[in-house]
Amino acid sequence: MEKRVFLIVLDSFGIGAEPDAAAFGDEGTNTLGAIAGHPNFNCPNLKKLGLFKPTDYTVMVKIVLNITLPAAVIVSFATTTLDLSMLIVTLLGFLANGAMLLIGLGLSRKKSKALRALYAICTPGYNIGAFAMPFAQGFLGAAGVAGACLFDTGNAIMCTGGSYAATDLLLNGRKEGEKFLLSLLKKLGSSVPFLTYTVMLILSLCRVRIPTALANFLQPIANANAYCAMFMIGLMFDIQLRPETLKAVAAIVIIRNLSAIALSAFCYFVLPLPLPIRQALAIVVFAPPSALSPAFTEKCGGDPAAASCVSSLCILTALLGMTAVLALMNL
């Protein structure tokens, strides 16, 4: 019996353009990035078919946060020049989180401790690196990624422990301020994206250029970030509405989206920054809560399942919000 071998060639599968793409008229090519950035991109049937378990997203989280996202950040800063005035974007990322934290605590002041924890942790925070960054990368290029990175530098301080420390201190009355500060510094120091943001920001402000050879080497890895990040989000997506937390979950989602609309308009129409930076900020403020929000909610005495539900619902609203903003900006 004869055997046949079928060879399938995926020509130009699309992780991005080569360094010499401009010479061949292929500059800006990114097939997978375009697919992953589409609002209808989702892969729930892969989990139903048993190809992926709900917990497999942790592998993709490690790949995105430790490999593809840092590569995308380095490549973007290698082709973008920043000045000290851009630090206002980092300050904005920090202040936006602080304002949202105060709003969450204020609106939940008469509620139970568990609900206050849910409001305080899930109202602030923006998942920039694993969610919003692919949009900035795919539609705005290196300058857009740089703007998103600057915002995320301030945002990361709150997302990686700042909001949790403040919430836990307020709700549980712990007198361990020094331990909280040390813990926060350790979390920031162990965050590969945050360290990458910080180092590249310092190098850029000091006018230290990344070697072209290094940028070219990292370019294919950076191009894969959009696809990997969206694939990870598809694995994480899970909505389980429960009557006892439904009202709080709905309120948080509404608050986040109303504030995102206001902040997006402020960033785009008011801030005295270059257009690509303003466009990036107008997009990323629609990002869902941090991926760490369920864990921090549980540590503060809240319901982690409700926090996961908030994140999943905000993924849907973020896709709609970002797509609408991109359409309004004719991108």
Residue 131: pLDDT band (50, 70, 90) is confident
Q: How confident is the model at residue 44 (pLDDT cuts 50, 70, 90)?
A: low
pLDDT category, 259, cuts 50, 70, 90? very high
Helix (H, G, I), strand (E, B) or coil at 41: coil
- Residue 54: burial class (beta carbons within 10 Å; 0-12, 13-18, 19+): exposed
Q: Which amino acid is at 82?
A: L
Residue 51 predicted with pLDDT over 60: no
In terms of pLDDT, which residue wins out, 235 or 276? 276
- What local confidence, expressed as pLDDT, does residue 13 receive? 47
Q: How many CB atoms lie within 10 A of CB 179?
A: 11
Domain locations in the chain as residue ranges: 43-328
Q: Which CATH class is domain 43-328?
A: mainly alpha
pLDDT digits (tens, 9 = 90+) for 265-274: 999 999 888 8
Structure-block tokens of residue 9: 């060639």
What tens digit of pLDDT does each residue of 83-101 get? 677 788 888 999 999 999 9
Q: How far apart are CA 291 and CA 58, in angstroms?
A: 11
d(CA 107, CA 45): 38
Mean pLDDT estimate for the chain: 78
Q: State residue 95's pLDDT score.
A: 93
Q: How far apart are CA 170 and CA 16, in angstroms?
A: 47
pTM higher than 0.75: no
The angle at the Cα of 232, spanning 188 to 63, to the nearest 5 degrees, equals 55
Rounded percentage of the chain residues whose pLDDT exceeds 70: 70
Is residue 82 scored above 70 in pLDDT?
no
